[in-house]
Structures are given as structure tokens and as C-alpha cells.
Amino acid sequence: MSDRQEHDPVTYDKLELQSDCERCFGLCCVALPFAASADFAIDKDGGTPCPQLQTDFRCSIHNELRQQGMRGCTVYDCFGAGQAVSQITYGGRDWREYPHTAHEMFNVLPIMRQLHELLWYLHEALAMPAARSVHSELKEALAWTKSLTLLSPESLLQLDVDSHRAGVNELLLRTSEFVRDAARRNQSGGHTRQKIGGRGADLIGAKLKGADLRFANLRGAYLIAADLRNADLRSADLIGADFRDTDVRGANLTDCLFLTQAQLNAARGDASTVLPPGLSYPSHWIHNDER
Ligand code: SF4
């Protein structure tokens, strides 16, 4: 850990929002169900350990998930909820040694994941200078959400997480509008752009090669298998957008809002895609290791 991280509580907290499978009891590999499909080679019920999960909670095919037909595992991100449930909520007591906790622990995971995802977005929002007029509200929401992650398992299971999420989402939406308005005002040229997108837009398979999508509101948009090659997505809001098989080769994602590593992992890109800081190139973009 660098000196800056040690003395910067915000940075340190954000590190806790990165999944750390070494400190998790393989919770996503047990708690979550999946169905045989293009994303998973097998069916599995929720609460049943995946056959690839070893006794040390490691995955036996971790380095070849895509080649083994388990692409869905590479696009799931718990935002650090797995290690939080394992090490904080349950104090390091795992479901194998304490089987009476298993069912409850598996139900707590998706609630914790939602809280951690909100924490990640709130950290992102706080890093946006153009949103400074809502920074105090963002900090309050961050502290409140963080406090919820420390609740007991019983309290977490009773939490109205949908209601909390709705409140935070309203704040994130206002943040997005401030930031995109500021970016739009600062744009050079000022030419008229085609209006594309909108919240929850159905853009499945859309042909948007080279499109100017700067400042677009693509919140929750369905971009599955869309062609976004060489598209300009600078300062576009991509929160919750479905990027499965979206072709972003050559696209410019600089300064886009709320894009996660899991979204990138689900997309198709290459070294010519321009990423925002803090996100990395998925290995399958570079090595083309799909089956
Ligand atoms: S294949 Fe590996 S990562 Fe995927 S669910 Fe099974 S154990 Fe977990």
C-alpha cells in the first residue's frame, strides 16, 4: 500500500470495494444460481456450491473460465461484498465450519453487494469536481450507506435496500446532470449532435459505429451486442448499462460516468479502446482467449 493510500481514508475505503477472493468464503460461487447458457456451461441452484469450488474456497478453473464456458463468472463483480460478509458480518467464520450460518450468509450476500455497489458509485461521484455542489449530500449518503454495511445479519436481512437504493440513485442522477452539463458547456465546436440514448434505452444490436455519444444519458441502456466501434462516449453516463457483447473497439470512454470493470469485462474491446482512469483492459480483449 502506498503512503497516499495509508493517509487517505477515501482511497483506502475504495480499495475495500474491490473484490478480494482470498478473503471471501467463495460466497458468489455458492449463493448465486445460474443456468446453462452462453455464459455458463452448467445449471446450478442458489445455495449449492459450484463443482469447481475447492475446499479452500478457490476456483479450480480460475485461469480458464472463458475457455471452460464460464464467461458469466468473469463479468460478475461483488464490489468487495464477499469479503465484507465473510470477514466483518460473520467475523471470519465460514459456512463450512459453521453450516448453520450458511443459508443466512448466502441471503446476506446480495444485500451487501447492493450496498457496496452504491458505495462504489458514491466514491466515483465524490471524485467529480463538477459535482461539488452536491458533495456534502454525497458524503452523507456515503457515511449512511457505510453504516448499513456494518449491521448484523438479522438487520441486513430486514433492510429495505430498494428504498435506500432509490434515494441514492436520485442523488447520483443529479450528480450526473451537473457533471454532463458542465462538460457540455466546456465542449469545443458546439455542433449539433444526433440525440441518441435516454434512460433505459433499447439499443440492442444498434449500429452506432463512430456515433457522437458525448454527454449522453445511457443510464440502464440495453447496449447488448451494439456496435459502438470508434464511438465517442466521453462524459456519457453509463450507470447500469448492459454491455454484454457490446463492441467498443476504438471507442473513447474517457471521462464517462459510472462505468464499472464488470461492464467492461462483458464487452468486446481491444487495445484501441480508450478507458477512463482506474479501469483496466480485460485480458480477453488482449489475448482473445474466448473458446
Ligand atoms: S466456475 Fe469458478 S468462479 Fe465460477 S462459480 Fe464455479 S467456482 Fe466460482
DSSP string, 247-282: B-TT-B-TT-BS--HHHHHHSB--TTSBPPTT----
What angle (nearest 5°) sits at the alpha carbon of residue 138, between those of residues 136 and 139?
Answer: 65
Q: Which amino acid, 14?
A: K
Closest C-alpha to ligand 1, atom 4: 73
Q: Is 29 in the pocket of ligand 1 (CB under 6 A)?
A: yes
CA 6 to ligand 1 centroid distance, Å: 33
Q: Is 231 in the pocket of ligand 1 (CB under 6 A)?
A: no
Q: Is 61 in the pocket of ligand 1 (CB under 6 A)?
A: yes
At 7 the pLDDT is 43
Mutate to test the pocket of ligand 1, among 53, 74, 76 (most ligand atoms within 8 A of CB): 53
| Contacts of residue 260, Cβ cutoff 8 Å, sequence gap at least 6 | 77, 120, 279
pLDDT at 193 over 70: no
Please report which confidence band the pLDDT of residue 140 belongs to, taking 50, 70 and 90 as the band edges: very high
CA 149 to ligand 1 centroid distance, Å: 25
Instruction: Identify which of 42, 18, 11, 17 has the alpha carbon closest to the alpha carbon of residue 29.
Output: 42
Q: Which amino acid, 81?
A: A
Please report which confidence band the pLDDT of residue 13 belongs to, taking 50, 70 and 90 as the band edges: confident
At 14 the pLDDT is 76
At 286 the pLDDT is 82
C-alpha cell belonging to residue 164? 435506500
Q: Which atom of ligand 1 is nearest to the CA of 73?
A: 4
At 28 the pLDDT is 97
- With contact defined as beta carbons under 8 Å apart, do 44 and 52 qualify? no
Alpha-helical (H) ranges within the chain are 3-7, 9-15, 28-31, 71-74, 81-84, 102-126, 135-149, 153-158, 161-185, 261-266, 283-287
